[in-house]
């Protein structure tokens, strides 16, 4: 029990990290895109939990809303819309699979080199940074909102224009000729 | 070793990134390719959050919000292209979209 209270967050990290990797492998390997989408949902929710473990509470909820809700529904809707009854029985992967595997191994070796050789100082554990608004301890949502609407107002507005353009583009692309 | 540090988050993020890249390059189905792209963007978010915590700086979280915004827009447009491709070719296999090949 003492072990659990001392290492609970760390154990949760390993649990959700394993779930995230399992989900990602499912996306890449499963034949049916429908199963792949559900597998992707597992990864999204696990990553949301990992956000929560790093004091990003607002982002964790946004991850569940936007990815788990919006993007996942979009994917499932499109999978159901297009006719996938005639799934190819063989040839799940394209001809570039050996090249892709080689590339992935090279990437892993490259990243692994960094993982082995990089060492960070212990994290600056000042979680109050994520909740403070002008000296008041309000909460993560308020802190993110304050930062978005003051320091990062211009990128925020540009993001809204970007979303408008993306919406118009999606409507035009999906329109029946 | 048990204590989770930024390095652990980086390792997980690299792993998800590599799996996503492999899916983008190797798979034939456009839906799966789009899902792999979402995986890659998610791994980047994980990286940003890990460093946000490491440096006790809120900016990483703000940047993640913009990454999620771009991911949402990308998914909408990508799936729109997929629908258009399906109308044209009755398939979602990328190898069949070879009209421009010489």
Interchain proximity A63–B81, CB inside 8 Å: no
B32 CB neighbours in chain A (<8 A) are 27-28, 33, 36
* Structure confidence by residue, pLDDT tens digits, A146-166: 999 999 999 999 999 999 999
Interchain proximity A56–B64, CB inside 8 Å: yes
> Which member of B11, B21, B50 has the closest CB to residue A104?
B21
Interchain proximity A127–B42, CB inside 8 Å: no
**Is B33 exposed, middle or buried, given 0-12, 13-18 or 19+ CB atoms closer than 10 A?**
buried
Q: Which two tokens stand for residue A7?
A: 């290492």
CA distance B42 to B60: 14
pLDDT at A176 over 90: no
* Structure confidence by residue, pLDDT tens digits, A3-14: 777 788 889 999
Mean pLDDT, residues B30-49: 94
A14 CB neighbours in chain B (<8 A) are 4
* Structure confidence by residue, pLDDT tens digits, A66-124: 999 999 999 999 988 886 666 655 566 767 788 888 989 999 999 999 888 887 777 77
Structure confidence at residue B87 as a pLDDT band (50, 70, 90): confident
* Structure confidence by residue, pLDDT tens digits, A57-76: 999 999 999 999 999 999 99
The CB density around residue A92, as the number of other CB atoms within 10 Å, is 16
Q: How close is the nearest chain B Cα to the Cα of A73, in Å? A: 11
- Give this prediction's pTM: 0.90
pLDDT at B81 over 80: yes
């Amino acid at each position: 029990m003492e072990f659990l209270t001392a290492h609970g967050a760390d154990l949760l990290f390993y649990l959700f990290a394993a779930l995230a990797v399992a989900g990602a492998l499912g996306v890449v390997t499963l034949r049916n895109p429908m199963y792949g989408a559900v597998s992707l949902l597992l990864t999204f929710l696990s990553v949301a939990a990992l956000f929560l473990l790093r004091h990003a509470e607002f982002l964790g909820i946004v991850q569940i809303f936007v990815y788990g809700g919006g993007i996942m529904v979009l994917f499932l809707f499109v999978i159901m819309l297009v006719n996938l009854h005639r799934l190819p029985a063989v040839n799940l992967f394209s001809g570039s699979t050996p090249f892709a595997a080689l590339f992935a191994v090279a990437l892993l070796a490259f990243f692994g080199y960094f993982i082995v050789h990089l060492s960070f100082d212990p994290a600056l554990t000042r979680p109050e940074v994520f909740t403070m608004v002008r000296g008041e301890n309000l909460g993560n949502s308020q802190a993110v909102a304050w930062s978005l609407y003051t320091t990062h107002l211009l990128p925020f507005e540009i993001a809204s224009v970007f979303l408008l353009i993306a919406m118009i583009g999606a409507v035009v692309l999906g329109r029946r000729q | 070793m048990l204590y989770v540090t930024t390095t652990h988050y980086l390792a997980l993020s690299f792993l998800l990134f590599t799996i996503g890249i492999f899916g983008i390059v190797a798979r034939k189905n456009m839906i799966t390719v789009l899902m792999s792209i979402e995986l890659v963007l998610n791994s980047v978010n994980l990286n940003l959050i890990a460093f946000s915590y490491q440096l006790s700086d809120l900016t990483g979280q703000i940047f993640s919000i913009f990454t999620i915004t771009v991911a949402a827009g990308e998914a909408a447009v990508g799936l729109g292209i997929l629908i258009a491709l399906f109308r044209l070719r009755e398939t979602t296999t990328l190898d069949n979209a070879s009209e421009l090949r010489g």
